[in-house]
Structure formats: structure tokens, C-alpha cells
Amino acid sequence: MNCEVLTLFPGIVEAAVGDSILKRAREKGLLNIKITDIRSFTKGKHKTADDVPFGGGPGMVMKPEPVFEAVEAAAGGDGNKAARVILMSPQGPAFSHAKAVELSRETRKLIFICGRYEGIDERVRTLADEELSLGDFVLSGGELAAAAVIEASTRLIPGVLGDDESAGQDSFCEGLLDYPHYTRPAEYRGMKVPEALLSGNHAEIRRWRRKEALRATMQKRPDLLEGAALTDEDRRLIEELENE
């Protein structure tokens, strides 16, 4: 996956993508991230990237000129369709696992525009192929949101995780939340690991995990069940849970 993040605060992005899974993905050549300071495309000795809003109001607005030039440089020239431009914005649709899968398979370069301050000049939206948000809340800028999108997408690329099956068992992969996980010791402060996980019976373990995934989804996110691909066994397990 090939990404370029356009931001006024490169250090925020580098701190978020410079360690752990993303660091290893970069070292393996599975993820390429370039972090570009939008301020380098500003004019004048003061490198001004924002200005007061027309019509008055609080805060400052990011200027369009440096953002346009940064996007054009990242895309290899104005009109280059070899890139997919994403504007991180609370006005965009919420990012999802399905979108992460889509981006993980994207062959074009992904360019992320990160706004700051009170907002970004509305004309910048014409550069974007799409807008994305992390949900119905506002951050101080798009840097952490872009990093979250990049990490969620990168970990789905084969070879990024130590065990490729790990990503396939995460919450939302099959429309359900993940099942509970346990490790040693088998008992801690009176809390015991479920017997099914200690049984060594793979069929029993598989059934327990599926049932607990369904339980967690029913209790925490029942809305997900409407769109989940449920099997006949799933429906029997749900009936069991409802009768408990």
C-alpha cells in the first residue's frame, strides 16, 4: 500500500505510524508512507498556511493554495488519476472494516489530506475523491484519523501480521464482534478460563468461540446481526443464548 499524508503537523503522523505493526510493514516493503508538510508549499517568509474566514467568525481557515499544490505534487501533476485522494473530515461517512478491506487492496497511491484549525477552505473538497471520518465527533485535525485508517487497512495486507489468520478473526470481519481471548494463568484472582478452551477439543473450542462472538454481538452491537451472514448453526446458537 502506497500512501502520502499531507499535514501541517508531520510529527503527529510519524509518531502514529513509526512503531509496532506499521513500522514492520514499512520495513518489509508492504507499506510505503510519505509524510509531507503542507507548509512547504506556502509562499513568503512567514510560511502562512491559514487565514481569517470570509464573513467573520471564530478561528482560522487553512488556505487553498498550498493544499492544491501539495496534492498536485503528490499525485504527480494536476489531473493525474493514478492517485486516490481522501479528505479526512467529520462530514464524511464513517470509516468501516469494509472500507479498510477496500483500501488495503487499492493499487493507486492513497493521498490523505489532513485539515486543521477551524476548517479547510471549501474549494479543497474539489480535490478529493471521497471524504472519511472516524465517527460523529471532531478532532483538532485529521492526522490521527488518517493514521487510524492507514493502520486498519495495512494490517489486512497479507504478510503484515505475524499470523495472517489474526486479521480474519477480528471484530467486524464476519459482521460480528470478536470472541473473548484468554492466556495464562488458567485462574487469576478467582477468575477461571472457560473449560471449553482447556479441553483440547477443537470442535468444542470452535463452537464456544462462535457462540461467545454471537453473545458479545447480541449484547453490545445487536444492530450488526441484521447484516451478518448467519449460518443455521449460528441461528441455533442464538436460540440457545436467548433461552439462557
pLDDT 10s digits, 172-193: 567 899 899 999 999 999 999 9
Between vectors from CA 52 to CA 47 and to CA 55, what angle results, nearest 5°? 155
pLDDT, tens only, 230-244: 999 999 999 999 999
What is the per-residue pLDDT for 82? 85
Q: What is the pTM of this model?
A: 0.87
Q: Are 105 and 147 in contact (CB under 8 A)?
A: no
Active site amino acids? 90, 118, 155, 170
Residues in contact with 239: Cβ distance below 8 Å, sequence separation at least 6, in sequence order: none
Mean pLDDT, residues 16-39 taken together: 95
Q: Which tens digits make up the pLDDT trace of 142-162?
A: 999 999 999 999 999 999 987
pLDDT band at 166; cut points 50, 70, 90: low
- List domains and CATH numbers for the chain: 2-154 (3.40.1280.10), 169-243 (1.10.1270.20)
User: Model confidence over 56-85: pLDDT tens digits?
Assistant: 999 999 999 999 999 999 998 645 578 999
What's the whole-number mean pLDDT along residues 216-236?
94
Cis preceding-peptide flag for 185 (omega within 30 of 0): yes
Supply the mean pLDDT for the chain: 92
The 3-class SS string of the chain reads: CEEEEEECCHHHHHHHHCCHHHHHHHHCCCCEEEEEEHHHHCCCCCCCCEECCCCCCCCCEECHHHHHHHHHHHHCCCCCCCEEEEEECCCCCECCHHHHHHHHCCCCEEEEEECECCEECHHHHHHCCEEEECCCCCCCECHHHHHHHHHHHHCCCCCCCCCCHHHHCCCCCCCCCCCCCCCCCCEECCEECCHHHHCCCHHHHHHHHHHHHHHHHHHHCHHHHHCCCCCHHHHHHHHHHHHC
Alpha carbon 89 to chain centroid, angstroms: 13
Per-residue pLDDT, 172: 57
pLDDT at 170: 52
* pLDDT at site 165: 53
Question: For residue 120, what pLDDT is reported?
Answer: 95
pLDDT digits (tens, 9 = 90+) for 118-129: 899 999 999 999
Distance CA 114, CA 71 (A): 11
pLDDT value, residue 163 = 62
Q: What is the tens place of the pLDDT at every residue in 83-110?
A: 999 999 999 999 999 999 999 999 999 9
